[in-house]
Structure 1
Amino acid sequence: MGALEDLFSSFPSFRGPVSFSFFIAIFTGTLKAHRLIGKNDEAPYHWEAFPRLNGFYNGIRSLVSYKDWIPEQQLPPGTKFKIHDGPPFNPQVVNPFPKFTSDNYLKEHHAVQICYLDEDEKHPAPDIYAYPGIPANMAAPFWGDYETLEIAPNRCYERFGRFGPYGYSYSREEGGLGISGHSTHAGAEKVQAMVDKVDYRKVEWGKAQKRCFEKNKKRFNGKNAASGRVYNKRKLPRSAFVLRTWTGYEYSDIQLLTMRAMINELSLQSGGEYDVHLLVHVKDNGLPIWASKEVYNRILRENVPEEFWGIATLWSERQLETYYPGPFLKQDNVANFAGTDIYGVYRAAHFALQWFSQEHQEYDFIWNWEMDLRYVGHYYEFLNGASNWAAKQPRKFMWERNSRFWIPEYHGPWRNFSALVAKETTEGGETPVWGPAQFRAGKYEALPPPKDTKPPTTFEKDNYEWGVGEAADLITFDPMFDPSRSGWVFRDDVTGYDTSVAAPPRRAAIVTVERLSRRLLNTMHEETWRMHHTMFPEMWPPSVAFHHGYKALYAPHPVYFDRNWSLDVLDKTFNKPVTPADSPFGRGEHNMLGSTFYYNSGFSGALWRRWLGATENGEGGLKSEEDGTDRMCLRPLLHHPIKHEAVE
C-alpha cells in the first residue's frame, strides 16, 4: 500500500474517493508524519535523537521472573543477561475469569454452563497459554499500566501459546492453518501437547455463540421464563463486540486467528457475556440488500469467510440515507474539510453503529472495534479490566483527567496523577466540568440531557463520590481532548447546529475504538434522526456524552515507544504543547509514529510483524531468532494500526 493510501486508510473506515482540495491538504499538511522512521531524506524529528529501545526483541530463552525484571529504560547500555538453552518456565493456562465455580461467586450469580465450539459438545472453548515471566530488559510502557486495568503484569505471550489453540500450529488437512512452519519451535511442543486440534472448517461461530447464550441466559435476564419467579441473583450486563468490515476486505490467516480468539475468549469462555458481530459495509449502493434476501445472502457469502456467516450483518450508505433522512443542511455545517458526503462512511461511521444498536437493544454495551487492531493478550481480561476500572472512577475532574496522558514513571501512581490534574486545573483558573455541558443552541431546539445526569450536589461539596460504582457510558483508548484547542484537522466538522452562534463545545478521541452504553447510543440516534445533529466520527460519541452529562473515561492502557524518551520531554510534548497547533492531535502527531497505539503509528505494525516472526526493515525473522534468544514474547499490548502482516 502506498504512503498516501496508507494515510487515508488510517482514518476511521475510509474507503472512498476524496475531493481534490482534501487530497492537496492532506498531502502537503500531514504526509510528513507518515514517512518511515529512520529515513534520512528529511530533517529528523526531535524524538529520533533519543536512543532506540531493543528489549522488545529478546525472546523466550531470555525470560526472567517479574520480580527480577528491570525495564530497559533503567539499565545502562550493553547490560548483559542470561540466555537459557530453552524457555526457563513452562507455559501456563491464561484464566482471567472470576472463579465461576467458587462458593462466593455462586452466592451472587447463577452457575456458568460450559460452552462448546461444536453442537456435539466434543470441543469445549479452548484455553490459551502464556509464560509466567518477561523477556530480560524488555522496556516498560511509557503511559498507562497493567495493574490499574486489572491486567496481569507478570506474563508474556508468544505466538504458539496465543494462536496455537486456534489453528496456527497444525495443518490445513487437520482443520488448522498450518502457518508455523517458518517459526522457531523451542518449547512449542509443550503448548502443542496441550492444544486440542479443532477442525475449524466445521465451526459455525454464530451457532456456537447462540448455543452458549441459551445455556446461560438466566445469568442475564434474572427470571425463569416458565415460572415467572425472579431469582435473587445478580444480573449481568451483556455486550456486543462489533467489528467494522466491508465488502472486498481480505481476511488474512492472522485475521482469522484473531477473530476466532475474540469469539472464544469474549463469548464462549465467559458463558455468553459477549456476542461478537461483523458489521459489513456493502460499498455498492446499487445493491438492494434491504429488499432481497437472495441478494443479501449472495453478498454475504462472497465477502465473509464461511465460519463467520452467522455473526455478520450487512448495511449500506444508501440504506442509512433512508434511516436518517435529515435534512442535514449544508449551511448548518461549520466545516467539511474532507469535502465528502455526510452519509459517507468516512464522515458518518457512527450511523451504522447507531442503527445496529437500535436493532439490538438487548445489549447494554457495544464495543466498536476496527479490523486493523491486534491484541497480544486475553481479550476478556483487557475489556473486563477496562470496564471495571472505569466503573470505579469518580466524575469529579473526570473530563480534565480524560484530556491528559498518564506517565506512571513521571507522575507516580494513578492517585498522584489524579491529584496533579486537580491541582493544575484549579491553579490554572479553569472551570472544571460538572454535569452536562451548557451552551447556546441558537435558533434550533436542543435535546435536553436526562435528569439522572444532573449532579447530586455542588462540585465543592462532592468528595469524589459521584460516579463511583457507575458503569461508564463511554470508554476510549486515547485521551478525550478539546478539539478547539488543538490543530486537529477535523475539529470543526460539526453539522446541524446553528452557525449564527458559537459552535457547541465538544470533545474528541482519535481512533474510533470504544465502548458505548445503550443509553449513549440511543441519545446519539435521537440527536441524529430528531435533531439532525452529527459530527466527525471521532468527535461524535465523546461530544454527545459531554453535552448530556454521561460518564466517559479514557482507559490508560499500556502504550510503548520505540525510543527512550526523556520523561520531562514526553510530558511537555503530549500534555503541555506550547501552542494548540503543536498538540499531538494536530501538527505534533508525528510524535506518535514511534508508539504502539495511534492512527499513524509506524512502530505498532513493525513490532507486531516481528512478534509473528517476520523480517522487518532487514531485522528479525527465522535466522535471527535461531541465532538469538528465540521467539519474541510480549506483555499484553494493543496494536494499532496493522496494515499488513506477512508471516514469512
Structure 2
Amino acid sequence: MGSDGTPLVGSPLYSHRMSETWPKPSSRWRLGMVLPTSPKKLCVVTFCFFFTSLFLVGGSFRARRYVVQKAAEQKAAEEPAYHWQRFPRLSGFYNGVRSLVNYTDWVPEQQAAIDTEFSITKLPPVEPVVVDPYPQYDSPDYLKAHHPVKQCFIDEDEKVPAPDIFAYPGIPANMSAPYWGSYEMLNMAPDRCFERFGRLGPYGYSYNPSEGGLGLANYTEHAGADEIQDMFEKVDYRNVNWGKAQQRCFEKNLERFQPNSTSTGDGAGPKKRVQRTAYVLRTWTGYEYGDIQLLSLRAMINELSLKSGGEYDVHLLVHVKNGSIPIWKSEEVYNKTLQESVPSEFWDMSTLWSEQQMRTYYPGPFPDEENLHNHAEADVYGVYRSAHFALQWFAQHHPEYDFFWNWEMDVRYLGHYYEFHNGVSEWAAAQPRKLLWERSARFWIPGLHGTYSAFSEFVANETRDKNEKPIWGPMEFDTGGRGMLAVPEFNKPPTTFDNDNYEWGVGEEADLLTFNPIFDPTKTNWVFRDDVSGYNVTKPPPRRASLVTIGRLSKRLLQTMHEETSKMRHTMFPEMWPSSVALHHGFKAAYVPHPVYFEHKWPLDTMNQIFNYPTAPHESPFGWGEHNFRGASFYYDAALSGVLWRRWLGSKENGDGGKRFEEKHSGRMCLRGILHHPIKSEGVESSPMWPL
C-alpha cells in the first residue's frame, strides 16, 4: 500500500498500467467514477465501498496475524522449550558400513574435533562375521560341569537348523558413544556393529515372499549385502510353528534342566542344573503384528531358545480386552479368539487372559478407601494399574521356570538377544548385596564417574558422608496394625552391614533386574507414587519404583508378590509393585547399567546434576523433569529410540535418511547393541513422538 493509501502504488502492476503507453483518463471520467450521477448508483457504490473496506481491513488483519504467528514460531525455534535442546546435536549414529574402523582406532563423536574427516570406501572395508555369544558347549571345560547341548532345529524333520546372524567387526568412524552404561561391563562385545541385512536377513528380511521371506530389502541400500546373503541359507518361514520348535528343543535337552542331575560316567561328578527362563511378551487382542515385529519375534525365539538348547521359552501373554468373551469356559472359544489375535506361527506359544479372570483369581476386596491415591481413577483390575496380576497368574501356572522376563511389544533390541540377556544376568549375579540398592538408585555415567568399581566406591563414600542408613536385608516398617507376610529366611543377612566385606550376594542370581534406576518415588512428583492399595493409608509403606515395566523377576519374587496380593490384598502401580515387594522382603534387586545414547552433547556435570541430584521433587527426571529423557534411546517416551530404529531400518525421518541418503554418504547404518524403547511405528512415514 502506497504512502497515499493507494494499494497498487509502487507495485509493478501499477507502474506498468500508469506508464506513458496508456492514455491518462480525463478528470471528468475519474470524477464520474467516484461520484455517480444517480442516487441509485451512489447507493450501490457506497455499499460496495463499505464491504470492500471490510475485506481489505480483514485481509490486512489476517496478514498481520500470519506475520505475528510466523514470528512467534521463529522465536520458539530460536529459543528451545528445553535446556538440553541448546546442546549441540550428535550425528555420528548415522555413519554407515562404508566408514567402518577398527575399534581401537575409533574416536567417539563427543571427543572428536568438529571438522573431523574420515574415509569412505566403496564397499564395507571388513568382512562380516558370525555372532556366536554362546558358551563353548562342546568344550571340555563346559562338559565337565554340564550335560551336552543337543542341536535344535526349526522343523520337525530336523533339516532346518537354527540360523546364525552376522555383524561387522568394527565401528563406524566418529560413531557417538553411550553416555550411560557399558558393553564391556555386561560382557557384550564392544567392537562390532549390526546392520539390517546381517541382523534380520536370516529371519526373512531380505529375500522374497515366494521363498518364505518378507522381501523388505528391495528398495534399500545394498553395499556389501550380497556377501552377507550368501553366508546363510534361506528359511521358508511360511509354515513354521515356533511353539512346537521350542518344545522339541526343550525335550531334546531335558537332562540339562532336571534337578539332582547325575554324572554321565566321565568321572566328573554331578552335573550342574541349568536354570530355565520364560521370556514373556505382553500383547493384546487387536495388536497389529507388522513385518518388523515378526522379524523381532523370530530373532528372540531363535537366539534365546533354539540356539541355547532350550534355556529360554518365549511366550506371548495375550490380553483379551473384551471381558465378555468366556475364554475360560470353552476350548473352542479360546482357540477361536487366539487364532484371530495372533499370527499362526506363534499360536502354540500363546496364552490368553482377561481382566475378568483376574477378578476371579484375586477376588479382593481392594476398597477405594484403602488406596492412598488412585491418580489414574481407574479400576484396580484394569491392566493399566495391575498388569502384574497376569504375570503373577502366569508364573503360578508355570512353576518349571526359575525366572520370568517381562517384555513389552514396543521394545526392540538391536544386538544379539542371548548375548544381552545372558550378559546382564551374569553381571547381576556377580554383584554383592552391600549398597546394591544405593548403587541401583543412581545413573552410572562412566565419562564422569570412571569405572563401575570407582562408581561403587563413590556411592559408598557418599552414603557414609550423608549419614544415610543403607538398606540391609528386609526393610522393617510400621504396618499400622495391618501386618505383612513373613520374610523369607534366605533374604536375612548372614552378618551385620559393617562386618560384611562385600561378600553377601556374590554369585547369587538377582530376583529383580530393571533397566532404569530403582528410585524412591516419595522423593519425586511421579504421578503414580501414591497408588498403594491394601496398606494402612495413615502410615503408608516405604516403596521403590523403576519406570518402564520391562525386566526380569525370579520365581520366588513372583511367588511373594502373588501371596501379598491373594493373602494380604496388597498391590501397587505396576512400575512400583515388584521393586517395593523386593524392598520389603529383602530380595536382591539391581538396576542394569546398559548402554544408553543421547541425541545431544550433554556436559557431564549437567547430566549428573539433572539425573542424579535434582534440587526439588518436581525437578526429578521421574516426574516433571522427565522431558530430559526425550533425547535418549531408552525411556517410556524417549524420542531418539524410534528415530534411530527407523533410520537403522532404512527409513526416512524428518527429511533425512533413506536409500539415496545412504548411497550418497557412507552406506546403511551399523549400530552396536542398543535397547530401544518405545517403538510406536516402524514405517517409512514415521516421525518421532516428541520433538528433539
Q: TM-score, normalized by length of structure 1? A: 0.92
Q: Is 1:188 aligned to 2:225, yes or no? A: yes
Q: What's 1:406 paired with?
A: 444
Per-residue deviation, 1:41: 9.7
SS in 1 for 2:600: coil
Q: Distance in 1 between matches of 2:552 and 2:217?
A: 34
Which structure is higher in RCO with an 8 Å CA cutoff and minimum separation 6?
Answer: 1
SS in 1 for 2:407: strand
Q: Is 1:580 aligned to 2:617, yes or no? A: yes
Q: Is 1:463 aligned to 2:510, yes or no? A: no
For residues 250-265 of structure 1, what are the structure 2 equivalents within 5 Å? 250-265=288-303
Letter of the structure 2 residue corresponding to residue 388 of structure 1: E
8 Å CA contact retained: 2:641, 2:678:
yes
Q: Distance in 2 between matches of 1:630 and 1:209?
A: 37
Q: What's 1:609 paired with?
A: 646
Unaligned runs of 5+ in 2: 1-72, 686-692
Q: What's 1:201 paired with?
A: 238
Per-residue deviation, 1:452: 1.5
Q: Is 1:388 aligned to 2:429, yes or no? A: no
Per-residue deviation, 1:144: 0.2
8 Å CA contact retained: 1:239, 1:367:
yes
Q: What's 1:510 paired with?
A: 547
For residues 334-345 of structure 1, what are the structure 2 equivalents within 5 Å? 334-345=372-383
Letter of the structure 1 residue corresponding to residue 605 of structure 2: D
Q: Show CA shifts across 1:459-511 (max 9, x none).
A: 111110111111000000000000001111100000000113x2100000000
Q: What's 2:346 paired with?
A: 308
For residues 50-69 of structure 1, what are the structure 2 equivalents within 5 Å? 50-69=87-106
Q: Is 1:281 aligned to 2:354, yes or no? A: no
Q: Distance in 1 between matches of 2:139 and 2:80?
A: 60
2:190 aligns with one of 131, 134, 153: 153
SS in 2 for 1:241: strand
8 Å CA contact retained: 2:219, 2:659:
yes
Q: Is 1:492 aligned to 2:530, yes or no? A: yes
Q: Show CA shifts across 1:262-283 (max 9, x none).
A: 0000000000000000000000
For residues 547-558 of structure 1, what are the structure 2 equivalents within 5 Å? 547-558=584-595
8 Å CA contact retained: 2:542, 2:580:
yes
**Could you tell me the percent identity over the aligned residues?**
63
Per-residue deviation, 1:445: 2.2
Q: Is 1:644 aligned to 2:658, yes or no? A: no
Letter of the structure 2 residue corresponding to residue 392 of structure 1: A
Q: What's 2:201 paired with?
A: 164
Q: What's 1:567 paired with?
A: 604
Per-residue deviation, 1:382: 0.3
Letter of the structure 1 residue corresponding to residue 190 of structure 2: P
Q: Is 1:210 aligned to 2:247, yes or no? A: yes
Q: Distance in 2 between matches of 1:268 and 1:150?
A: 21
Q: Show CA shifts across 1:345-384 (max 9, x none).
A: 0000000000000000100000000000001100000000
Q: What's 1:85 paired with?
A: 122
Q: Distance in 2 between matches of 1:322 and 1:191?
A: 53
Q: Which structure 1 residue ranges, 4+ long, deviate > 3 Å from structure 2?
A: 38-43, 222-225
Q: What's 2:672 paired with?
A: 635
8 Å CA contact retained: 1:223, 1:231:
no
Q: Is 1:481 aligned to 2:557, yes or no? A: no
Q: Show CA shifts across 1:57-102 (max 9, x none).
A: 0000000010000000001112000101110011100000000000
8 Å CA contact retained: 1:390, 1:472:
yes
Q: Show CA shifts across 1:578-634 (max 9, x none).
A: 112111000110000000000010111011000000000111011100101010000
8 Å CA contact retained: 2:545, 2:575:
yes
Letter of the structure 1 residue corresponding to residue 285 of structure 2: T
Q: Distance in 2 between matches of 1:329 and 1:450?
A: 28
Q: Distance in 2 between matches of 1:39 and 1:339?
A: 35
Q: Distance in 2 between matches of 1:454 and 1:603?
A: 42
Letter of the structure 2 residue corresponding to residue 642 of structure 1: I
Q: Is 1:248 aligned to 2:305, yes or no? A: no
Q: Show CA shifts across 1:318-341 (max 9, x none).
A: 011000000111111000000000
1:291 aligns with one of 329, 332, 343: 329
SS in 2 for 1:240: strand
Q: Show CA shifts across 1:399-434 (max 9, x none).
A: 110100000011000000000111111111110111
Q: Distance in 1 between matches of 2:215 and 2:362?
A: 46
SS in 1 for 2:77: coil
Q: Is 1:139 aligned to 2:176, yes or no? A: yes
Q: Distance in 2 between matches of 1:640 and 1:596?
A: 7
Letter of the structure 1 residue corresponding to residue 248 of structure 2: R
Letter of the structure 2 residue corresponding to residue 308 of structure 1: F
Per-residue deviation, 1:205: 0.1
8 Å CA contact retained: 2:109, 2:177:
yes
Q: Is 1:106 aligned to 2:127, yes or no? A: no
Q: Show CA shifts across 1:514-570 (max 9, x none).
A: 100000000000000000000000000000000000000000000000001000001
8 Å CA contact retained: 2:597, 2:633:
yes
Q: Is 1:589 aligned to 2:614, yes or no? A: no
Per-residue deviation, 1:224: 7.4
1:47 aligns with one of 77, 84, 101: 84
Closer/same/farther in 2, CA of residues 223 and 202 from structure 1, 3 Å limit? farther
Q: What's 1:10 paired with?
A: none
Per-residue deviation, 1:222: 4.3
8 Å CA contact retained: 1:605, 1:639:
yes
Q: Distance in 2 between matches of 1:129 and 1:75?
A: 29
2:154 aligns with one of 117, 131, 134: 117
8 Å CA contact retained: 1:242, 1:368:
yes
Letter of the structure 1 residue corresponding to residue 225 of structure 2: A
Q: What's 1:4 paired with?
A: none
1:221 aligns with one of 243, 251, 258: 258
Q: Distance in 1 between matches of 2:464 and 2:373?
A: 33
Give aligned pairs, total. Answer: 609
Q: Distance in 2 between matches of 1:378 and 1:231?
A: 33
Q: Show CA shifts across 1:34-60 (max 9, x none).
A: xx9x97398521111110000000000
Q: Which moved more, 1:436-445 or 1:263-272?
A: 436-445
SS in 1 for 2:230: helix
Q: Distance in 2 between matches of 1:141 and 1:223?
A: 43
Letter of the structure 2 residue corresponding to residue 309 of structure 1: W
Q: What's 1:25 paired with?
A: none
Q: Distance in 1 between matches of 2:187 and 2:306?
A: 21
Closer/same/farther in 2, CA of residues 157 and 487 from structure 1, 3 Å limit? same
Letter of the structure 1 residue corresponding to residue 137 of structure 2: F
SS in 2 for 1:276: strand
Q: What's 2:466 paired with?
A: 428
Letter of the structure 1 residue corresponding to residue 483 of structure 2: E
Unaligned runs of 5+ in 1: 1-35
Letter of the structure 2 residue corresponding to residue 527 of structure 1: E
Larger Rg: 2
Q: Distance in 1 between matches of 2:79 and 2:233?
A: 52
Letter of the structure 2 residue corresponding to residue 333 of structure 1: N
SS in 2 for 1:74: coil
